Amino acid sequence: MSYVLLDDGSRQILRSLFPGDMLGISSAIYREAPETLCALSDTVVCPFDRAALSGIMQQHPRLSAMILVYSQIERVALTDRLAALGRTSAKARVAALLLDLRNRLRATDKSIDREYTLGLTQEEIGDATGLTAVHVNRMLRQLEEEGMIAREGGRVTLLDRAALAGAANYVNRYEGLDLRWLPPAR
């Protein structure tokens, strides 16, 4: 995950990170990283030297454009998260997080349909949604009682994705990408 620590000592989780994600790309343009990265499970990281990244971008314009695409997907996701934190209910925030985690996992594992390992504690969900762990627990129970999700043994099952998406006012930002403009591969 990526996060920032606030002046009062609280943590705001910005993003959950998954296999294949580019970690800390903002560090390429700042002397000091604007966020902290923390592994929540066993992780393999491949560091890139800034000079090597520059060379790759010059030699491979399609790859360079894909990094731009990735950065824009991340920016829009953070825009969605900011809007949700400022203007949606606790239930909507938790529902949106559950859907987003599922869709991000599905991007690299098409076998994931309705059920997946959550991989976050209620405290971490709270730090991502601006809620207390107690409030997260209430919202998860409410989503269960309304028949939208089921939980068991660290796994969550999305029983009614349409209702969950409606409750969250969720837009799947990983569908409907138009990449026809990308330069051809060399």
Q: For the chain, which residues make up each domain, given as ranges?
A: 2-168
CATH, range 2-168? 1.10.10.10
Largest CA distance in the chain: 54
Contacts of 49 (CB under 8 A, 6+ apart): none
Alpha-carbon distances, residue 69 vs 30, 38, 73, 80 (angstroms): 20, 24, 6, 17
Distance CA 171, CA 90 (A): 17
pLDDT at position 167: 95
Alpha-carbon distances, residue 28 vs 47, 109, 180 (angstroms): 11, 29, 27
pLDDT at position 23: 85
pLDDT at position 5: 94
pLDDT at position 172: 87
Give the number of other CB atoms < 10 A from CB of residue 170: 21
- The DSSP H or E segment spanning 58 is helix 50-59
> Which residues does the chain have with pLDDT short of 50?
none
Q: In what order do the strands lie in the sheet with 155-158?
A: 115-117, 155-158, 149-152
pLDDT at position 81: 87
pLDDT at position 114: 94
